[in-house]
Amino acid sequence: MKRQVLVVAISMFCLQGYAQQAAVKQIPKSWHMLDYQTDGIYGTSVEKAYRTILRDKKPKQTIIVAVIDSGVDTTHEDLKPVLWHNPGEIPGNGKDDDGNGYVDDVYGWNFLGGKDGRNVTKDSYEAARVYYRYKKKYSQITSDSLLSPQEAWEWKNYRRAKVQIESQAKEASMYVLFLKSIVEKLPAMDSVLQKSMSKNLYTGDDLLRFKATTVEESKARNTVLGLFQQLEQMDKYNKQMIDDLMTFYDGEKSKVDAAEKGPEDYRGLIVQDNYSDINDRYYGNNDVMAGSPMHGTLVSGIIAASRSNDIGVKGIADNVRIMAIRTVPEGDEHDKDIANAIRYAVDNGARVINMSFGKSFSPDKQWIDDAARYAESKGVLLVQAAGNSSANVDQQDVFPNPNPLDGKSKPLTNWITVGASGALKSELAASFSNYGKTKVDVFAPGVDIYSTLPGGNIYGSESGTSFASPIVAGLAALLMSYYPELSVKQVKYVIEKSVTPMNGTKVTKPGAETQIEFTELSATGGLINVYDAIRLASTLKGEKNEQEKVLPQPKLKKTPKG
């Protein structure tokens, strides 16, 4: 779960204790698949597209979508049929059969692994890494007037990191202080409830119905139920909720510690590559389920959960394969791993890359820029979550991004940045979503998105731009599958030009209480619409030299009322 939602929920928890929350309007679990005109929900009209335009059509090619994330549960019933299997690799023989430099990369690759089988789970935050990386060199420097351009850039990052570390440590200390006793007792309470309810997995709704018969059961029920209620996720499983809280607590503790001492080199101790050498690419292992694959499993299901097995959920696209690339730990990802993940995806046939992660510093951004340019040259689309800090990213940097470090080169043309929307007009712009009139391209559903969870046959909901991005990635793959003649530039064009325009619609500005025109939150000013995207794609002809073509202007439909 995104940090922003946990911050708000836990703040309320601090103030209100275990108060029960008022009931909210029930939204269908897979609301993001619905259509506004038919269902009164600001979904993406996916099912409408399959019922109508695509009813008698067959996809023309299978599209590989790389999910650069925390890992993917390769045993899940709804994902097994859609996982990418490296055709040149013989599983489990300990050899690099296809000669791509990665041994037994059957489902993808784990850049957070060691050759000895160990894996990075917890890691530090980039602000701390930047601060301590440059502290010795720049702590006594008060001006950049005598510094080279590169040194000036490093100095500014050092100073910005210092401010962030100090402010975050102050805020985080409050959460650490309040949550410490709860976090320490939570595993034992969960164990009591599992035993009393005779089930390993239970939801908040299950707990609401549970009648405690002992003082111990009653105390455990009230505490855990209070957490479910404050998070407003009563349909979540206990493991999901507890993992979210533990991850949040560990992250806040790391921020407190960062103000006092340098971060531990969790990654270096396990991966043991030469981090400073971007050409040292062949590190890691093939364990794409390592650590906690919760996040990546959710993302994968949104994109491509089987649409034909009549179980669980349905993904956006019906003829894709998910390539799992693990690079995101419990902390901030490293620039080198992201750059190598992009190159791995491109070299192994991915046409779309979903990146549901982000951070506020990127000390080795050039590595990612170069990898993204490589993807651009190969016709691969990068789709990224805008972030969950309620921030205007036109004014506040979030990395990675498509804007070159030198500030002079043209931005990448194969990159889409996605903000998060909700099901109803009252939450059309998700309160946590980053936004930006120039640097966020589109908005897509990102509130309570129902998808696959680790465990083989488990499902649940999460919120965040992390789960809006794969909806757009799924749409991109769908377009490429049915209209393979379209270039990556045309696919991006179709997605952006077919949005449902929200002219005249005012929403609450993310992170504020003021009202703002929804059209001011992104470059397109609208919500993605799968049905209209397919309609527009069907009118285009493929182009060989996309740099010289002038794309036609689409006929946009009227803004829905309400």
Residue 464 falls within a domain, yes or no? yes
**Could you identify the residue written with the tokens 């949550």?**
179
Is residue 218 domain-shared with residue 361, that is, in the same domain? no
Q: Which of 243, 258, 273 is the last residue of a domain?
A: 258
**Could you identify the residue written with the tokens 């991004």?**
401
First to last CA, the chain: 30
The pLDDT, as a whole number, for residue 134 is 97
Query: Are the CB atoms for 463 and 5 separated by under 8 Å?
Result: yes
Q: How far, rounded to the nearest angstrom, does the alpha carbon of residue 24 sit from its chain's CA centroid? A: 26
323, two tokens: 């390539």
Cis omega before residue 400 (within 30°)?
yes
Residue 558 falls within a domain, yes or no? no
Is residue 297 domain-shared with residue 423, that is, in the same domain? yes
What DSSP line would sit under 427-473, residue for residue?
A: GSB-TT--B-TTT--EEEE-SSEEEEETTTTEEEEE-SGGGTHHHHH
Cα distance between residue 249 and residue 180, in whole Å: 8
Beta bridge partners, 108, equal 324
The pLDDT, as a whole number, for residue 445 is 98
Is residue 131 domain-shared with residue 247, that is, in the same domain? yes
523, two tokens: 């470059």
Cα distance between residue 24 and residue 209, in whole Å: 18
Domain boundaries, position 185: 126-258
**Number of structural domains found in the chain:** 2
Is residue 374 domain-shared with residue 427, that is, in the same domain? yes
Residue 354 falls within a domain, yes or no? yes
Residue 14 falls within a domain, yes or no? no
Q: Which helix or strand (DSSP H or E) is residue 420 part of?
A: strand 415-421
Q: Dmax of the chain from CA atoms? A: 75
Is residue 379 domain-shared with residue 481, that is, in the same domain? yes
Query: Are the CB atoms for 223 and 185 separated by under 8 Å?
Result: yes
Task: Please give the model's pTM, rounded to 2 decimal places.
Answer: 0.89
Pair type for strands 108-110 and 320-326 = parallel
Query: Are the CB atoms for 351 and 329 separated by under 8 Å?
Result: no
**Could you identify the residue written with the tokens 């601060």?**
131
The pLDDT, as a whole number, for residue 7 is 55
Q: What is the CATH number of the domain that holds 488?
A: 3.40.50.200
**Could you identify the residue written with the tokens 């202007």?**
553
Is residue 330 domain-shared with residue 432, that is, in the same domain? yes
Map residue 348 onto helix, strand or coil.
Answer: coil
Cα distance between residue 439 and residue 423, in whole Å: 23
Residue 9 falls within a domain, yes or no? no
Is residue 336 domain-shared with residue 188, that is, in the same domain? no
Is residue 209 domain-shared with residue 299, that is, in the same domain? no
Name which of 309, 308, 307, 304 is nearest 320 in CA terms: 304
Cα distance between residue 142 and residue 145, in whole Å: 9
Residue 244 falls within a domain, yes or no? yes
The pLDDT, as a whole number, for residue 247 is 86
Q: Where are the alpha helices (DSSP H) in 210-323?
A: 215-231, 238-258, 266-271, 294-304
Cα distance between residue 530 and residue 534, in whole Å: 6
Is residue 195 domain-shared with residue 247, that is, in the same domain? yes
Q: Which helix or strand (DSSP H or E) is residue 152 part of?
A: helix 149-197
Q: Which helix or strand (DSSP H or E) is residue 500 part of?
A: strand 500-501
Cα distance between residue 313 and residue 262, in whole Å: 44
Query: Are the CB atoms for 418 and 379 separated by under 8 Å?
Result: no
Residue 55 amino acid letter: R
Count of positions (residues) in the chain: 562
Is residue 527 domain-shared with residue 432, that is, in the same domain? yes
The pLDDT, as a whole number, for residue 151 is 94
Is residue 375 domain-shared with residue 508, that is, in the same domain? yes
Residue 175 falls within a domain, yes or no? yes
Cα distance between residue 75 and residue 141, in whole Å: 53
Residue 253 falls within a domain, yes or no? yes
Is residue 113 domain-shared with residue 157, that is, in the same domain? no
Mean pLDDT by runs of 10 across the 562 residues of the chain is 50 43 66 96 98 96 98 98 97 96 98 97 96 96 94 95 94 91 93 96 94 96 91 85 88 92 96 97 97 94 97 97 97 97 98 97 96 98 97 95 85 97 95 97 97 95 96 98 97 98 95 95 98 97 55 45 42
Percentages (nearest 5) of helix, strand, coil residues in the chain: 40, 10, 50
Cα distance between residue 109 and residue 325, in whole Å: 5
